[in-house]
Amino acid sequence: MLKNQNIFFILLVIFIGLLFVFPHSFISSGLGNTILTITTFLFGIIGGFYIVVTTTDYNSVKNILASETAGWISLHQNISIYDKQLADKFSLLVDAYVRRAFDYEIIDYTKGTHVEFEALQRMVRDIPLKNELSSVYEKIRDVMDEIIKSRQQLTVLGTKTLSPFQWFVLFILATLLVFSLYGLRSGELFFDIVTVAISSSVVLILLLIRDLDLYIWNEKTFGYDIFENVLKSVGQLPYYPAESLEAGRVNPSEKEYRVGTWLNFPKSLDRKVEIHKTN
């Protein structure tokens, strides 16, 4: 997946190139100004509304994810107090859960980690009661209930906010806006600069809405760091999917970490996990 800045610069070059392709004033000023005014107004309203809606869902998912990952850390700490051997087993199950979560995007991972989550839930459910540590036992059950609640909320929010039809409308308005700008060009350098600048800004708005809709805005912190903190807290090495490293979506800051490489994707989700060390 191309990074936003790469897409932006590619389209910036294309927009500059279009200055030499389209003739000046190929749309009449009366018609062009009318179309430009209406499309700018509609694009501003609809684009702004989409940003508000996607940002609301994005912030909700971010907060719920923070609660869920904090829950795993708290759960491990309480199980460590309750039974050290169980905590070691729990650590391995959490590790498997987080590694599987990285196989999916944020909007899909709750569905994709059902098996791993069931194993964790079953282990917590089967913890025997120790009367002398009943308060810790109750805390473990309460934290697990909160994690279940968080996952249910993530399942509800784990879909794209905007439908294909809504994207189609947005693209039509963006295209009409850019087309009108190029059609009204007078040949003056300043007008050409404004045309390219506004066209590029329209692209940036579309990219922003896309990132918010897919929950990948600021994804290093949002989609990677919080999960890496869970792994570190339960005593496991940080883990990164090989394809995420190759795409430049994340750059590990740790001196020692694990990398998972597909063995037979997409037929199988199995990975070969190797430890990488940096000087």
Q: pLDDT of 182-191, one tens digit each?
A: 999 888 899 9
**What CA–CA distance (Å, rounded) separates 208 from 198?**
15
Q: Evaluate if residue 72 carries a pLDDT over 60.
A: yes
136 or 8, which is more confident? 136
Confidence tier at 253 by pLDDT (50, 70, 90): confident
Q: pLDDT of 190-245, one tens digit each?
A: 999 999 999 999 999 999 999 888 888 877 777 888 999 999 999 999 999 999 89
C-alpha to C-alpha distances, 254 to 55, 73, 205, nearest whole angstrom: 31, 19, 34
Quote the pLDDT of residue 139.
Answer: 95
The domain segmentation of the chain, as residue ranges, is: 27-177+205-234, 237-279
Q: What is the pTM of this model?
A: 0.82
Of 261, 222, 217, 221, the closest CA to residue 239 belongs to 261
Quote the pLDDT of residue 278.
Answer: 81
Using DSSP bridges, classify how beta strands 271-277 and 239-241 pair: parallel, antiparallel or unpaired. unpaired
